[in-house]
Every structure is written in structure tokens, then in C-alpha cells.
Chain A
Amino acid sequence: MDRRGYLKTVVSFGVISVTSFSLFKWFDLNKRVDPGKIWDKRAIIAEIAELIIPETNTPGARSAGVDHYIIDVLINCNPVRQQHKFYEGLEDLEDYALSKYDKEFMFCSLEQKHAVLQHFADHAAYSNRILNKINNKFLGQSFFSKIKSLTVEGYCLSRVGATKALAYDYIPGSFEACVPLQLHQKSWATK
């Protein structure tokens, strides 16, 4: 039985105490994640990023290559624990789609994909602020919150995002302290 299966069994039988569960999880989360495993999920990461920032009258996350950015930053700039949490979140999302629609996430309709992601958005955090803080500190940001923040960052910093969806002023040359907002005014891409 693989570890995920084991965990599920244990949890479903409810025979493991909270403490030992945490210890188990702690140990497990400090082992290194194989970057190849995350790169293998590139397509689904791109799909989720596009759900978060879809193409509208401006390009979406996929055209901005945000999937590549997410994986680069996740693998190179995040602690191993956060990488685990992200990877497990992806697997949970796939499992959820399968159990809910009897289909691989990637084969779900747009509405179904949306509903799946909405489920994770709704359960991204504890309702308790202190628990969230503890959880974020020891186990890292939740999967949804992480993929959302990386998507936003990757998109808004990309050439496509910064110049098409936002207003990128490379060399302003002057400072105008108070100007009227234009119709359909976009945010400045950089501060």
C-alpha cells in the first residue's frame, strides 16, 4: 500500500491520535520532493492557473507561461515542507475530481473544474485565525492559497501580464501625484 493509501486508511479508521499523526506528517514533510514529480504535473498546474486568471479581454495565466514560473519558484525558492504540501494538494484535488465526477480533473468540463477548485478555495483555511497561523508556520501555506499567490505573482510579473493586463510604465520620466482615473484604468504593474 502506498503512503497516501495508508494515511487515508488510518484516518478513516480513526485510530491514530492527533499527536502521532502530526509527528508522522512532520517526518514525512521534511523529506525532499523529486522535482520531476512536480514537473510531471505541469499541465494540471497550468489548468488551475488559467482557472484563477482566465483569458478574458486580456490574456490568461497560460499565455503568460505562469505554470513554468510556479514550478520554478516552488522547487527553488520554497522549503521542502511547502513543496510537499503543494504536491499533496494537487493529488487531493485530482482525487476529489475523480470521486466527485468519476473523471480525471483534466477531462472534467470547465464548470466541473471550477467546482473542484472552488471546493479547495472554500477549504483552504481553518476558520480559526490562530490555527491558520500555526498551520502556515509549521506546515506551510495551504495548497490553494499557494497556487493562487504564485499564479498572481507569476502572471503580474510576466511580460504578458504586466504589459497587457496591467499598465507597465518602464521609465515614467515624471511623477504626477494626482491624476483622474481613466475609463477602464488598469493598475500600474510595478510600484
Chain B
Amino acid sequence: MIYITDKIKESSTYDAIVIGSGISGGWAAMELCRKGLKTLLLERGRDVKHIVDYPTANLSPWDFKYGPNHTMEEQTRNPIQSSSSDPSNKHFFADDINHPYIQEKPFTWIRGYQVGGRSLTWGRQCYRLSDLDFDANAKEGIAVDWPIRYKDIAPWYSYVESFIGVSGNKEGLPQLPDGEFLSPMELNCIEKHLGESIRKNNHDRLLTIARVANLTRGWDNRGPCQYRNLCSRGCPFGGYFSSNSSTIPAAMATGNLTLRPFSIVSEILYDEQKQRAKGVRIIDAVTNEMHEFYSNIVFVNASTIATAGILLNSTSSRFPNGFGNDSGQVGHNLMDHHSTAGAGGAHDGFTGLYYKGRRPSGFLIPRFRNLRDGENLKFKRGYNIQGHGERQEWSDKVYGLNGFGADFKAQLTTPGPWTVWMAGWGECLPDYNNKISLDQTSKDKWGLPVIKIDFSFNDNEHEMMKDIQNTSAEMLEKAGFRDIDVFNYHKSGGSTVHEMGTARMGHDPKTSVLNRHNQMHAAKNVFITDGSCMTSSASQNPSLTYMALTARAVDFAVEELKKGNL
């Protein structure tokens, strides 16, 4: 423990501290800075500057010695992260040896420990939740009620979309509200064909282009998208939204931001007298020294599992079970979407048509199950189907195309039949037993307790997966596809990288951690706006919701500060 002199203490004091610089932390920092607060943004990993720190962004396939293959050394050292990365983007994935966690049941925890976090490698799909989602828990008596409804967040969705730039098509669906969209990317001919078939055969369904944070025109001095489809390397054109390309530079530009990489937050400090957080303690990842930083407001955006870990590690006489954990819910109700079940097939039509450019997105069939009561399905809630159509290319033909020699080569290098792959992104019900906790007996290299993850999908998710397989296959069949392959990859939790729920919002401090403003019930100057705040998972890709909740919470926090309530 280092002794902190008054002088150091002074330079360690800010108006606000944000823990984590990923998609929600970047938003928190930008909004706080733009409202005039001197803000310290803490990031446990290294700095990644937009463009200059994207070393692989402009490389061609032949620049990678081993192609898309990880070395055995990499596979052995990073068995988890290497399952999601490839040599072109592995520098944006955490190191499994230095950042261990315990899988009480198999759980794939994909992490991006650097400035920008996983906003560099995210899927970029942006979908609004609706009241179908916000009402569901209360209606079905599952977990606790969301303390907000669509009308509370709708203007903030618009605010965020208008800033980040989302391309998409308005469809007027109540279960998937329209947003502020840039012009949509186009569906290719097989996708249009499937869409028309669905429109004809299923009046309750439609197929639309994915809504993505990829720019179809220049926006905020970024983009437009160049259709390279190499997003996860970082985009030198700023063609998609990330903290690095957007919110962090905007926060920097205010002059109010201090960004501190290599700063692992070990705990949030509690002020017994004022009954609120006084700041945070960090371990410098390079020097291993501890430092304390103080502020009026603390935003926790470390990502769902890490955020819960920090809270559980922040004990005091007031909070013996973890910071703000009067309810005992911190770390519980861990959710992740499942996305392993679906179907694919080939089509013999449209042989004279192709496409040019690599669209960095696919299509979406918005949720069509349990939109109203009495559907008598074996599961609650629903799923949306995501997929893409393409002509078979060489990489699809490696194992399917028999023989070798000149004819083989000719077939290998010309466009094959059209195919569609699609899978359901399904809701995961909150379950108290799905949880993270700390293992006090094992410590990481900085002496912090290692996180244990105990998660499994339950009957509701498994029943839904079966339905996804059936509806997907049926839609393909009706559209004239052949060789329909119905699949379930049976991946472990975490594989969709949509973890959420470990510090949920709710009305009642006895059963939830945060109130309707993402403000901690038990410590009013702490706000949590990453995935941990989610009361239910819905089935939509969640990042847009985290960003909207963040902007909304900052607005509230700063108003409270002005009123003298914080």
C-alpha cells in the first residue's frame, strides 16, 4: 500500500471516474466530458489509438504467414480467445494466461482488454428493445420487473443512433421499433428471394437488412464504409462505430478527459460518512503499484462479468458482501443469448447473378414468436433470425468439391451455387443460479481473486433452439432451397459474447442493484450502464441499449449533481 500525500491526492481527484473504455464506457466518458466534468477514464489494458494502432488493417491475405490458422502455441496459450479470433485480429483479444477465470461449467468469456475494449471487434448490429421486452418479466412473473419502459429509453436510442450512425430500413414493427437510420445496405438476390417467399408464406414474418453501425455515407468525419468486411481489425476509414474512432476522440476534444490505460480497478472505495463511493483503487498493470482516484461520480462500465467482479471485491463494513450488494443479486442472473441453432441450404436459381463488394452485415428476420398471448409454444419469449446469402466461394468448397486437377481448379475458382446460412439469436431467461463469484483461493498475477463462472442454458432456451431449427428449415424449404442442413452447434454460454444481467435494474432495493436511472440503490453516486444492468436479455443484440442507457444515466447524474443531490 503506497502512502498518498495530499499533493498526489489532489491530482488524483476528478469530477467523474469511468471504469472501462469499451462501448458503454466510451459513451459515459464522452457524455460526462461534454457536460463539462473533468473525467478520468480507466482502462485495464493498453492504449489503442484510432487507425495508428490497427496494424493489420490494410494487410492482404498473403501477408499472414499461416493464413487464418492460429499457431499451436497460440491455441495452447489462449484456448478461449483463440476460438473467437484469427491472426488478423488476435491483438484485440485478451491473453488467457494473464487473465484466468474458472469455468464451473463451460463458459466462453471473450474479452478485449485494451482502450476501446470489444467495441473494436463487435458485431455492430443495433436493435431497439420494445415494450414486448420491457413488459415480459412482470407479465410472466419472471425475475423482477424492468423499472423502465420503451418511452423512457426511446429518445435516448434516437440520440445514440444519430451520433454513431446506424444504417437500416424502417419496417414499422412494434416488436422492433424503427430508429434514426442512414440509408440501408442492400439485400442480394438470394436474400430478396427468401424475403419474398417469407412474405408470401408467413404473414407474421419479414426479412430485412441488418441494422448496423456501419456507415452508408460519411458521418461525423468518419466513413463511409468501404465494403472490405475487415471490421474486426479496426477500420482505417472509420467505417464503423467504436469507442476508438468516435466517443473517445470526442471526449478528448473537450479537454476534460484523462485517459489512463494499464489501470486495473481492484475496488470501489466507500465513504462511510457520506454513504457513497469516494473513488476507486487501481493496480497499475505495468508497475504493479496501487493508486487511488477520487470523484463525485463513478460510472462502472467494465463489462458485465468484470463489473460484478469489481463490486464483489469491494467490501467494507457497510458492504460485507460486495459494493451495493444489499440485495445479494450482484453476480447473479448472468445471461447470454444463444445463437447456435439454425439451418442452411443451397438454391439452384439466379445462376447468372453475383455481387460486388463485401457487405459487412447480413439479414434479419425480426422476432415472430410469442408476440401475443396464447401461442402455446413450449418456450417463453422469442428469437430473431440472423443470416446471410452468398454464392459458394473457394473456402466453402474445400471439403465439398471432389477430386483434383484442372477441372477441380476451374470449379474452385468460379462462383458456386447460392447458399443461405441463418441462425436464431434467442432470449435467455434470467436465472439466479447462473452466476459469477470470486475464488479467494486463486489469485491472478496482480493478486486479485479469480472470477468463477457458473452458467448453463436451461429448458426454455433448449426448446427455443428446436423451434429455431424447425422454422429456419421450413422457411428455406418453402423458398425452394435444397440440401437443407439443420444444425445446432451446441456452444457453451458466452459464445455469443452478449453476457449481461449481473447487477440488474429494478424497482426494489431488496431484489435489485440499480434503480431506473442505472443508479445504485445503496450508493447514489455509482452508476452501472454496461450489460450488467439488464433485467432481462430480450433477443436483440444489446450494445445499442447499453449506449442509450449510458447517455440517459449521465444526463440524470449531471442533473442530480447540479441539484446538489450527488
Contacts and interface: CB of A to CB of B under 8 A. Distances in A.
A34 interface: no
B395 to A, nearest CB: 7
Contact of A172 (B70, B75, B226, B415): B226
Contact of B403 (A72, A76, A121, A190): A121
Interface stretch (A2-10, A91-99, A145-153): A145-153
Interface string B391-416: 10111011100111110111011111
A156 B412 CA distance: 9
A77 B66 contact: yes
Interface stretch (B17-25, B250-258, B353-361, B440-448): B353-361
A191 B353 contact: no
B393 A77 contact: no
B398 A187 contact: no
A39 to B, nearest CB: 15
B186 A177 contact: yes
Interface string A50-73: 011110101010000000010011
A186 B411 CA distance: 10
B408 A77 contact: no
A78 interface: yes
A36 interface: no
A89 interface: no
Contact of B188 (A72, A178, A191): A178
A180 B354 CA distance: 6
A83 B229 CA distance: 33
Given A77-B70, A176-B357, A121 B404 contact: yes
Contact of A175 (B351, B353, B358, B406): B358
Contacts of B409: 53-54, 56, 60, 165
B185 interface: yes
Interface residues of A, number: 51
Interface string B435-468: 0000000000000000000000000000000000
A176 B189 CA distance: 11
Contacts of B65: 72
A145 B400 CA distance: 11
A87 interface: no
A73 B67 contact: yes
B354 A190 contact: no
Contacts of B189: 177-178
A187 B394 contact: yes
A171 interface: yes
Contact of B415 (A149, A158, A169, A181): A181
B489 interface: no
B499 interface: no
B187 interface: yes
B378 to A, nearest CB: 30
A157 B67 contact: yes
Contacts of A188: 358, 393
Contacts of A152: 394, 397-398, 412
Contacts of A156: 61, 394-395, 412-413
Interface in B59-100: 60-62, 64-73, 75
Contact of B71 (A76, A166, A178): A76
Contacts of A145: 399
A170 B408 CA distance: 26
A179 interface: yes
A12 B515 CA distance: 76
Interface string B404-430: 111011101111100000000000000
Contact of B353 (A52, A148, A158, A180): A180
Interface string B344-369: 00000001111111110000000000
Interface string A91-128: 00000000000000000000000100100010000000
A157 B62 contact: yes
A153 B67 contact: yes
A101 B141 CA distance: 77
A117 B60 CA distance: 32
Contact of A79 (B61, B72, B229, B412): B72
Interface of A: 51-54, 56, 58, 60, 69, 72-73, 76-79, 114, 117, 121, 145, 148-149, 152-154, 156-159, 162, 165-166, 168-181, 185-191
7 contacts: A54-B405, A156-B61, A171-B228, A172-B226, A172-B356, A177-B185, A179-B354
